[in-house]
């Protein structure tokens, strides 16, 4: 098979790029196992505008880079861009941020900062969600310009639109092979049949899977400096809970907890909790992480009764372009050699920026040829974390 561009990996990075390339007449094909498996399906779906990175009161590179992402996503959600997300379920238009009582001195700069004032509005008391209408709540509540999306519906929408350019492969047995100065993708389909795919550009957006794809080639550290993993152990609480989407701030410049709410297949609410509990829980037994999160919630929301809830955890690695000190990259990262590019978006929210940068950096043929995967097996959307 011959295509203009082959994308390897069907998370948000690959799917967003595929949608844009297709709209421009690039004959692009995406190969993957399950769509979003790994990080995208495990993400909280927050389209960050950078507030979380500005908690010190300083505008860092990360805050500036991500600031425009909610606007780009909103255009797609309104059906006004090449990536049509008008059928995606938006969980909330704006994420909340709450402080619990007195805030630390490090936070004062954040609330005083002019740049932040334009990004968040104080919620008037009479507009508080039920959860915060309690005599014991003495903190402040703010609304951020950050929508939260239902990620399974995001993946399903993209799958529906792009189905004829999606090909399911056995990722363990498929990989890159050198052919002269360039690379070919040797695919093994689920039924064991083989397909050699030649492409002007091969773009690896396989998340953590990029590491194994690169390792199977002779491409060295010099050409591709490598990947880093930053693990998390997320916490899930299931039961009769209010639907909230909020960062809880404490004395530090990192959220004490970031809570998003989802419905499982039985219609029960699941709180999916990231932030410090997930960062500090890495490598610990689930019971210990759950107990620490229960203490944290009891401190943050003491009036809430969480008895009778079902608790669980989900361990997952964030996969990113390697940084010398292992810290989070400020922006998407990609490296190019021969006809191979390897890319990590760093955040779900950054998918539009990664796609735009890849298109301006790489010369891609636009043969306008028809999609080639119709009739071949198509990758399903990965199972939601709250239904596992």
The residue ranges that bind ligand FAD (CB under 6 A) are 8-14, 31-40, 42-46, 48, 171, 205-207, 209, 212-213, 232, 234, 274, 316, 318, 344-349
Measure the CA–CA gap between 207 and 276, rounded to whole angstroms.
23
Nearest alpha carbon to residue 182 among 48, 41, 6: 6
CB of 303 to ligand FAD, least distance (A): 27
DSSP 336: E
DSSP for 42-94, written as a single string = GS--B---SGGGGTTSS--HHHHHHTTHHHHHHHHHTT-SSS--TTS-EEESS
DSSP for 146-168, written as a single string = --EE-HHHHHHHHHHHHGGGEEE
Which is closer to ligand FAD, CB of 137 or CB of 176? 176
Which is closer to ligand FAD, CB of 137 or CB of 187? 187
Give the number of other Cβ atoms within 10 Å of residue 122's Cβ: 12
CB of 10 to ligand FAD, least distance (A): 4
CB of 252 to ligand FAD, least distance (A): 19
CB of 197 to ligand FAD, least distance (A): 12
Which is closer to ligand FAD, CB of 171 or CB of 270? 171
Which is closer to ligand FAD, CB of 109 or CB of 322? 322
CB of 58 to ligand FAD, least distance (A): 21
Residue with tokens 């979003």: 36
Helix (H) or strand (E) holding 192: none
Residue 195 contacts residue 1 (beta carbons within 8 Å):
yes
Residue 178 contacts residue 218 (beta carbons within 8 Å):
yes
CB of 41 to ligand FAD, least distance (A): 7
CB of 26 to ligand FAD, least distance (A): 18
Beta-bridge partners for 319? 229
CB of 211 to ligand FAD, least distance (A): 9
Residue 239 contacts residue 309 (beta carbons within 8 Å):
yes
Which is closer to ligand FAD, CB of 96 or CB of 137? 96
Which is closer to ligand FAD, CB of 137 or CB of 144? 144
77 phi/psi in degrees, rounded to 5: -70, -25
Measured at the CA of 348, the angle between CA 269 and CA 281, to 5 degrees, comes to 60
* Neighbouring residues of 372: CB distance < 8 A, sequence distance ≥ 6: 1, 3, 27, 29, 165
Which is closer to ligand FAD, CB of 143 or CB of 318? 318
Which is closer to ligand FAD, CB of 97 or CB of 316? 316
Residue 151 contacts residue 43 (beta carbons within 8 Å):
yes
């Amino acid at each position: 098979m011959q295509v203009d561009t082959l994308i390897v990996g069907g998370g948000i990075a690959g799917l967003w790029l595929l949608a844009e390339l297709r709209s421009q007449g690039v004959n692009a094909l995406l190969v993957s196992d399950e769509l979003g498996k790994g990080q995208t399906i495990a993400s909280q779906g927050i389209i960050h505008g950078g507030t979380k990175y500005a908690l010190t009161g300083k505008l860092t590179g990360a805050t500036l880079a991500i600031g425009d992402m909610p606007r780009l996503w909103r255009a797609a959600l309104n059906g006004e861009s090449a990536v049509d997300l008008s059928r995606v379920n938006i969980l909330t238009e704006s994420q909340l941020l709450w402080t619990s009582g007195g805030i630390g001195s490090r936070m004062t700069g954040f609330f005083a900062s002019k740049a932040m004032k334009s990004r968040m509005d104080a919620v008037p008391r009479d507009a508080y969600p039920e959860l915060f209408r309690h005599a014991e709540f003495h903190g402040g509540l703010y609304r951020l310009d950050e929508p939260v999306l239902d990620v399974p519906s995001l993946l399903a929408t993209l799958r529906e639109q792009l189905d004829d350019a999606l090909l399911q492969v056995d990722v363990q047995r498929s990989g890159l092979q050198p052919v002269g100065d360039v690379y070919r993708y040797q695919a093994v389909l689920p039924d064991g049949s083989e397909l050699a795919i030649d492409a002007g550009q091969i773009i690896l957006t396989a998340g953590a899977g990029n590491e194994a794809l690169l390792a199977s080639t002779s491409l060295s550290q010099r050409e591709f400096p490598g990947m880093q993993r930053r693990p998390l152990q997320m916490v899930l609480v299931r039961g009769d809970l209010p639907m909230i989407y909020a960062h809880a701030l404490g004395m530090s410049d990192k959220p004490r907890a970031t809570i998003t709410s989802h419905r499982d297949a039985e219609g029960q609410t699941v709180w999916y909790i990231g932030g410090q509990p997930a960062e500090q829980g890495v490598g610990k037994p689930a019971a210990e992480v759950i107990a620490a999160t229960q203490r944290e919630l009891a401190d943050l929301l003491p009036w809430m009764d969480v008895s009778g809830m079902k608790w669980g955890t989900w361990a997952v690695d964030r996969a990113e372009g390697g940084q010398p000190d292992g810290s989070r990259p400020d922006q998407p990262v990609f490296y190019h050699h021969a006809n191979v590019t390897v890319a990590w978006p760093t955040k779900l929210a950054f998918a539009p920026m990664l796609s735009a940068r890849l298109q301006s950096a790489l010369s891609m043929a636009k043969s306008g040829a028809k999609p080639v995967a119709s009739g071949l097996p198509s990758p399903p959307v990965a199972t939601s974390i709250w239904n596992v």
